Structure 1
Amino acid sequence: MPVRWRDLDAFNHVNNSKYLSYLEEARLHWMLTVPGMGMDDHVAPVVAAAQLNYRRPITWPSEVVIELFVERLGNTSLTVGHRIVDAKDPQALYCDGHVIMVWIDRESGAAAPLPRPVRDACRAQ
């Protein structure tokens, strides 16, 4: 993913809030590979928590790689681990941490069972 000029803050590095946008984009690309994107008329995923450890600033121009992996597969939730690294030097770690996604019933807002296609996609990793 290329770093965009507009992602920079007054200190000439990527603003911390943009890291969340990068992670969201990577998760959405992954979800496009899951049949039905892991949602339907009855259930959908929401982000319940996000932990980001900022290891070093990302500067412009550069390109980053967002690595996603399953940390925990629950009954109603999925913990997605992540790493943001430099595309040219994967040893250059910019950020790591995880995001907890919970599937909810669209009507009630209560937690709902993890859809089978999501569970299957996670086990295939």
Structure 2
Amino acid sequence: MSDTATPKPRKSPARKRKPATKKTTDRAAPAAREVSPAVEADQAPVALIRVPLSVRWRDLDAFNHVNNSKYLSYLEEARLRWMLGVPGQGLDDHVAPVVAAAHLNYRRPIEWPAEVDIELFVERLGNTSVSIGHRIVDAKDDQVLYCDGNVVMVWIDRGTGRAAELPVAVREACS
């Protein structure tokens, strides 16, 4: 046994809280987000592209199915192919798209060999962003759903890093 005593945990000093104060600013309230009429709940989403892809052996993990990280690569490939069809590809010297969020629901494993289709569609069209819904399905039977979800892409000002208006070409491609 050791002769040294176990040190007692130290209490952190109590912090005084400042009373809440109401801040007033001259800034106007943020504008309401614009939603494309084509993506309202009662209408079918705007289809962007359907991209066929072959599952590669190197996409497999130790469980002999496509690794979850590869699904993101498949979606990226489909988004890039869609953007190649957008005039100016939605970027220029001033603005460029970035992925702000990705949501994937893994519905069933993809085994090798397989041919899949990646479907992209507009879920929501905003002032500075677009939510692109996706489905990864079997190429021969689109009722076999491997993955669904969405990716939010935000266009940013390259100089400031802040959100920028969607380019007109992107807005038109999503409508």
What is the alpha-carbon root mean square deviation over aligned residues? Answer: 0.3
Find the counterpart in structure 2 of residue 101 from structure 1.
Answer: 153
Q: Corresponding residue for 1:66?
A: 118
Structure of greater Rg? 2
Large movers: runs of 4+ above 3 Å: none
1:6 equivalenced with 2:52 (yes/no): no
Q: CA deviation at 1:88?
A: 1.1
The residue that corresponds to 1:16 in the other structure is 68
- Equivalent in the alignment of 1:52: 104
> After superposition, what is the alpha-carbon deviation per residue over 1:8-67, rounded to whole angstroms, capped at 9, x for unaligned?
000000000000000000000000000010000000000000000000000000000000
Provide, for residues 86-108 of structure 1, a one-character-per-residue CA deviation record: whole Å limited to 9, x for no partner. 00111100000000000000011
Question: Aligned letter for 1:5?
Answer: W
Equivalent position of 1:85 in the other structure:
137
Gaps of 5+ in 1: none
Percent of pairs identical after alignment?
A: 80
Answer 1 or 2: which has greater helix percent. 1
CA–CA separation in structure 1 for the residues paired with 2:165 and 2:69? 30
1:41 is aligned to 2:93: yes
Gaps spanning 5+ residues in structure 2: where?
A: 1-52
Distance 1:92 1:86 in 2: 5
Instruction: Please say if 1:120 is aligned against 2:172.
Output: yes
Q: Which has the higher strand share?
A: 1
Structure with more contact order per residue of length (Cα contacts < 8 Å, sep ≥ 6): 1
CA distance in 2, matches of 1:101, 1:90: 25
- Calculate the TM-score normalised by the size of structure 2: 0.70
Q: Find the residue that maps to 1:41 and give its secondary structure.
A: coil
